[in-house]
Amino acid sequence: MIQKRISDLIGYGLKTGLIEEADKVYTVNGLLELFGLDEWEETKSDRDATLTDILEDMLDYAAAHGLLAEDTVTYRDLFDTKIMGLLMPRPSEVRNKFRKLYREQGAKAATDYYYKLSGDSNYIRRDRVKKDLKWTTDTEFGTLDITINLSKPEKDPKAIAAAKLMKQSGYPKCLLCKENEGYAGRVNHPARQNHRIVPVIINGSDWFFQYSPYVYYNEHCIVFNGEHTPMKIERATFGKLLDFVEQFPHYFVGSNADLPIVGGSILSHDHFQGGNYEFPMAKAPMERQIKFAGFEDVKAGIVKWPMSVIRLRAADKERLVELADKILTVWRGYTDEAAFVFAETEGEPHNTITPIARMRNGEYELDLVLRNNITTEKHPLGVYHPHAELHHIKKENIGLIEVMGLAVLPARLKDEIAALERIYRTKGDYRRDELTEKHADWMEDILNRYPQMDADKLHIVLQEEIGQVFKRVLMDAGVYKCTEEGRVAFMEFVDAVNR
């Protein structure tokens, strides 16, 4: 079996362009060494064999022959990445081809090549990404995108136990560092032999470009600082974002905020996220035009969105940088007690911005989302964070992706939704099942509004209701509420920028 699967993998590599005919013997010998084999008899490759099937059979062989420490998802992931690493071109080859395509055919041709490579190499695990559950929900703010993330593997108890016994390593310093390229990985750090990164210069500084292995949306990329330096929203941030979209105009790019609660999961390494995707917030119109003194050449407005968003648009990116920096500076120090906006308490800063850049009809566009991470006794996880009554659906921080209108919901919801449907069909008690207990109040409210619902329609109703919960999550995260009083308070901040 292993001989046949080696032939199939070589066939896959030739078909996808990961290797060329001249690489065949070299790659076979690497695979023979990896599997502890002394010889190879070539067989006709199965052109219909999927990469998932090939790797699964290879992993089963490795487990049966003692090549895996444990036959668990963590060790299987480490080993199959090592397999695919043997089919990968050198980093210099990838970078040279990317630059050549960019120079001769343009940015889209370069990213098309790089994105395909990232999938063909199994760095982006397409088989897992396909498992994500996705749907949309219509709201007064537009159509929101909802996904239940199933592409990240569940925590492996044996790997967790092994990690506790391991000597702590500081290399690479984090999951975003450039030193991950080609890294063999360990039980508490993913293998990256099949990972390649591309250097980019933005705003005069050395950064790198890669794709997210979990691709929450089309061509989900990460742009990260070449140095392991903390996240910081500042004037230079706006210049970097706009410089990136100038170089890659078919992509948007944005940054998580730089404070806990309202920031991303990795605040220790400065990075952005982008991609070839139009998010719901990008489609939302400006509901009110506003003007900033001295910047009459910049189109500006408040976006019709559940969070507090100022949109700026201009042909001159330096003018956008200048105005965005002014708005950020004023917001950092802005307090409005009546609106429960505090710049700081006991020396701890609370105000920051989530910025997003894109090109639109030949002009530069910046969305500035006002954020505040203050906590209270009533809301210990954050006043502008999903409130407790919504935690049964979404408790995690609202980062860049959610801000733009894509809910990334926890994998647990797949089984919990199935349990809700099962109990509805059997007329059971939601409060007596550990999977549904947390949803009981919510479910009772739904059934009060749909008293004679057909069981076959419950799945669609639950998806719609989850989408409406996400809308409420975004409204909770908005500093200024979508009310007449909230808009007045929002305009008072605009006036403060103009003073």
Contacts of 404 (CB under 8 A, 6+ apart): 254, 279, 280, 281, 282, 356
CB 489 within 8 A of CB 338: yes
Predicted local distance difference test score (pLDDT) of residue 167: 65
Token representation of residue 200: 């980019």
Output the DSSP codes for 416-462.
Answer: HHHHHHHHHHHT--GGGSTTTGGGHHHHHHHHHHSTT--GGGHHHHH
Token representation of residue 473: 């999550």
Predicted local distance difference test score (pLDDT) of residue 263: 83
- Residue 492, SS3? helix
Token representation of residue 455: 């069981």
- Strands 406-409 and 142-148 come out as parallel
For 264-299, write each residue's pLDDT tens digit.
778 999 999 999 999 999 999 999 999 999 999 999
For 196-241, write each residue's pLDDT tens digit.
999 999 999 999 999 999 999 999 999 999 999 999 999 999 999 9
Predicted local distance difference test score (pLDDT) of residue 319: 98
Predicted local distance difference test score (pLDDT) of residue 304: 98
For 94-109, write each residue's pLDDT tens digit.
999 999 999 999 999 9
The pLDDT of residue 321 is above 80:
yes
pTM metric for this prediction: 0.94
CB 210 within 8 A of CB 198: yes
The pLDDT of residue 332 is above 90:
yes
Q: How confident is the model at residue 29 (pLDDT cuts 50, 70, 90)?
A: very high
> Percent of the chain beyond pLDDT 90?
92
For 452-494, write each residue's pLDDT tens digit.
899 999 999 999 999 999 999 999 999 999 999 999 999 999 9
Owner of token pair 């209108």: 405
The pLDDT of residue 401 is above 70:
yes
Predicted local distance difference test score (pLDDT) of residue 199: 98
For 110-167, write each residue's pLDDT tens digit.
999 999 999 999 999 999 999 999 999 999 999 999 999 998 765 555 555 665 555 6
Predicted local distance difference test score (pLDDT) of residue 156: 55
Average pLDDT, the chain: 95
CB 290 within 8 A of CB 308: no
Owner of token pair 């299987």: 76
Beta strands of 212-360 (E only): which ranges? 221-225, 252-254, 271-275, 286-290, 299-303, 309-314, 344-345, 348-349, 351-360
Distance separating alpha carbons of residues 366 and 362, to the nearest angstrom:
13
Contacts of 435 (CB under 8 A, 6+ apart): 415, 416, 419
- Residue 369, SS3? strand
The pLDDT of residue 445 is above 60:
yes
Output the DSSP codes for 127-139.
Answer: HHHTT-EEEEEEE
Of residues 158 and 360, which shows the higher confidence score? 360
Mean pLDDT confidence for 398-421: 96
The pLDDT of residue 180 is above 70:
yes
Token representation of residue 11: 């066939």
